Amino acid sequence: MVRVVNVFLERVLDGTGAFDLLISGNATLFAIVRLSLIVTLAATALAGLIGLPLGAVVALTRFPGRNALVVVLNGLMGLPPVVAGLAIFLLLSRTGPLGSLGLLFTPTAMIIAQAVLITPIIAALARQVIEDLWAEYRDELTAIGVGPAQRVTTLLWDARFSLVTILLAGFGRAAAEVGAVMIVGGNIDGFTRVMTTTIALETSKGNLALAISLGLVLIAIIMAVNAFAWGVRQWAERHAG
């Protein structure tokens, strides 16, 4: 095992110059990482603002078509990124209904694409968490006299640690996405090029140094996010019960 790792380090990382790129603080590499984080964080925030209240409302209300909406939300968790990208491309293209906004091939379009992909994930998982919590809290909150609006805020707050984990899952999904941002962002050098699209492009060109170094950064970010999620849960269990 150690030998395999050594060979990997020697041939792939050293041999391609990926380590040099990482250690040298290559400006291109860090600009790509920076843009990737901005796009993904913004998309996660946007998806959270929409998905968390949506999940809570679906969990706490009964209305005609609710079951169909639950099925749709669950189904959209597996929405193919290229299909989402194509739909947003058609919306934002010059002849599309939102073409006048001029958003196509901009980071904003990429934020929208990632948000569209992960909003159903966040909403569907939040619905399940809040529905379970509501089953536990229903009688108590009713007896306390908590109104419908405060139920939503109370359950969102009391489910906060689970919801943070859900947001981080959404972040991980968005960060690893390539198809949709490639279509709506255009992978324009220095403007809409993010880690995943760069890896795809540079690998096809044979420039493995940049691709591998970005791959390492991407994995490190996703691992850090998961470690943070785990830490949040541990802290929550110790301090909030």
Partner 1 sequence: MLAKLEPTIPAVLLRLQGVSYRAGSTLILDDVSLSLDSGPRTILMGPNGSGKTTLLKLAMGLIDPSAGSIETSPHLRAAFVFQRPVMLRRSVAENVAFVRTAARLPFDTQTVVRLLTVVGLRDLADRPARKLSGGEQQRLAIARALAREPALIFLDEPTASLDPASTKAIEDVVVSVAASGVKIVMSTHDIGQARRLASDVVFLVKGRVVEHASGPAFFAAPATDAAKRFLAGELVI
Catalog residues that contact partner 1 under the rule CB under 8 A: 136-137, 139-140, 142-147, 150, 154, 157-158, 160, 239-241
Minimum distance from residue 144 beta carbon to partner 1 (Å): 5
Minimum distance from residue 34 beta carbon to partner 1 (Å): 36
| Choice between 89 and 161, CB closer to partner 1 | 161
38 burial (CB, 10 Å; 0-12 / 13-18 / 19+) is middle
Handedness of CA 9, 214, 29, 225 (dihedral sign): negative
How many Å is the maximal CA-CA distance in the chain? Answer: 68
Minimum distance from residue 141 beta carbon to partner 1 (Å): 8
Q: Please report where in the chains the tokens 């959270």 appear, as a residue.
A: 48
| Choice between 78 and 241, CB closer to partner 1 | 241
Which DSSP helix (H) or strand (E) runs through 49? helix 27-60
| Choice between 147 and 206, CB closer to partner 1 | 147
Q: 124 near 77, Cβ under 8 Å? A: yes
Number of residues that make up the chain? 241
Minimum distance from residue 210 beta carbon to partner 1 (Å): 45
Q: Closest Cα to residue 122, out of 50, 181, 40, 177?
A: 50
Q: 52 near 178, Cβ under 8 Å? A: no
Minimum distance from residue 66 beta carbon to partner 1 (Å): 22
Q: Please report where in the chains the tokens 């409302």 appear, as a residue.
A: 57
| Choice between 32 and 129, CB closer to partner 1 | 129
| Choice between 53 and 160, CB closer to partner 1 | 160
